[in-house]
Amino acid sequence: MATQLFVKLKGRRGENKVVFTDDENIQKVSFFALPIILPDKIIQFDAERKIEYDEWFYIEIDNEHSTMMDTFVNCSQNTADINTILADDYSKVETIFKIETTEDEKHQIIFQKITNANRIESKTLLLFVGDHPEIVKQDKSIDFSDRVDAYFDGENKIYFRNFSTIRSLFEGIEDYYREATDDEVQRITQNIMLQVNEGINVGVRNRKKIATILSDENIKLDDVNFQNKIREYAKKYPEISIETTQDGKYIINDNKDLEIFLALVGGRYYTSEITGEKMEAKAIEKLRTLTTNGQ
């Protein structure tokens, strides 16, 4: 297995530079290692969801975004054509990334984002070598830890914990965390099921929900049968505070009304089979079938 360490610099070019490729120095950064991600601790990215400390979001890279990782993967194949990092590059380092290439040419990559808080312009340290104190002055240094901000599995998934942390690292990744355009908002607000106040200014939170709904092929708001399912579903939850017209249209006066309607469309209201209480899921995830013992 070949292992290499690189940095990506800030700026329009986003140039990559070599840090280490030799085994001796790579061994010194062995603390920066591939994360252990358990199958039952991965969650498809949902901007509305909060995850636990041991959970990871993932994004599955589609064909449209297949080149997203190429700029990093290509580093491992063309090290002779890549410049080595210099002291003058210190202030421009945006991320440190480590590539591990397996015998079957699978390129797994881990990333750590570098911010101004990681940069050390000048610092004087009292160090102890054995029992002997020494004064050491550090200039142009980067505080580098074992933290993994993103992990590419070498196939088609990027794992991460905080989207805001990684959004500047990968070109095109914001497409997975986008807000609905004005045209897409109109597709919802002009739907026959709704009577919408013309003065409503759809907020960012609802725009994100609209984008998610419109990307779900199972949600067919223009289909009469689907519309009837929503109305029947809503009748089970009379506690929902959304008014309707005499002909059954949902009245949307503000963002709160729209949020309730979008929750209906997304099927976020449910009744607990344990307690019988009616509840709302603030985030949803489709269940995955887990296999055990090869079954």
Is 192 found in the same domain as 162?
A: no
Q: Is residue 13 over pLDDT 80?
A: no
Would residue 291 count as lying in a domain? no
Among candidate residues 155, 177, 199, the one where a domain is terminated:
177
Is 230 found in the same domain as 100?
A: no
Q: Is residue 290 over pLDDT 70?
A: no
Share of the chain above pLDDT 70, in %: 95
- pLDDT by residue (tens digit) across 191-220? 999 999 988 999 988 998 898 888 888 899
Give the integer Cα–Cα distance in Å for 217 and 169: 29
Is 254 found in the same domain as 170?
A: no
Looking at residues 176-199, what average pLDDT do you find? 90
Is 230 found in the same domain as 95?
A: no
**Number of domains comprising the chain:** 2
Q: Is residue 12 over pLDDT 80?
A: no
Is 165 found in the same domain as 69?
A: yes
Give the integer Cα–Cα distance in Å for 191 and 252: 11
Contact 152, 76 (CB under 8 A): no
Is 233 found in the same domain as 168?
A: no
145 Cβ partners below 8 Å, 6+ apart?
31, 32, 112
Q: Is residue 288 over pLDDT 80?
A: no
- pLDDT by residue (tens digit) across 233-287? 999 999 888 999 999 899 999 999 999 999 999 898 999 889 999 988 876 666 5
pLDDT of residue 259: 93
Would residue 162 count as lying in a domain? yes
Would residue 293 count as lying in a domain? no
Give the integer Cα–Cα distance in Å for 62 and 280: 31
Is 77 found in the same domain as 23?
A: yes
Give the integer Cα–Cα distance in Å for 183 and 181: 5
Q: Chain centroid to CA 143: how far?
A: 24
Give the integer Cα–Cα distance in Å for 237 and 260: 11
Would residue 44 count as lying in a domain? yes
Looking at residues 169-183, what average pLDDT do you find? 86
Is 94 found in the same domain as 6?
A: yes
For 78, the 3-state DSSP assignment is coil
Is 155 found in the same domain as 260?
A: no
Give the integer Cα–Cα distance in Å for 78 and 288: 39
pLDDT, the chain, mean: 89
Question: 208 is in which domain, residue-wise?
Answer: 182-280
Is 103 found in the same domain as 249?
A: no
The CA-atom distances, in angstroms, between 113 and each of 9, 22, 140, 238 are 11, 23, 17, 47
Give the integer Cα–Cα distance in Å for 155 and 109: 11
Q: pTM of the prediction?
A: 0.70
Would residue 264 count as lying in a domain? yes
pLDDT of residue 175: 80
Instruction: Tokens for 21, please give them.
Output: 């490729």
- pLDDT by residue (tens digit) across 104-131? 889 999 999 999 999 988 889 898 888 8
Q: 210 pairs with which residues across the strands?
A: none
Would residue 246 count as lying in a domain? yes
Is 169 found in the same domain as 194?
A: no
Q: Is residue 58 over pLDDT 90?
A: yes
**What does DSSP say about strands 194-196 and 132-142: parallel, antiparallel, or unpaired?**
unpaired
Would residue 128 count as lying in a domain? no
Query: How does DSSP classify residue 171?
Result: T
Among 14-28, 63-77, 217-231, name the one with the lowest average pLDDT: 63-77
Identify which has the larger pLDDT, 103 or 26: 26
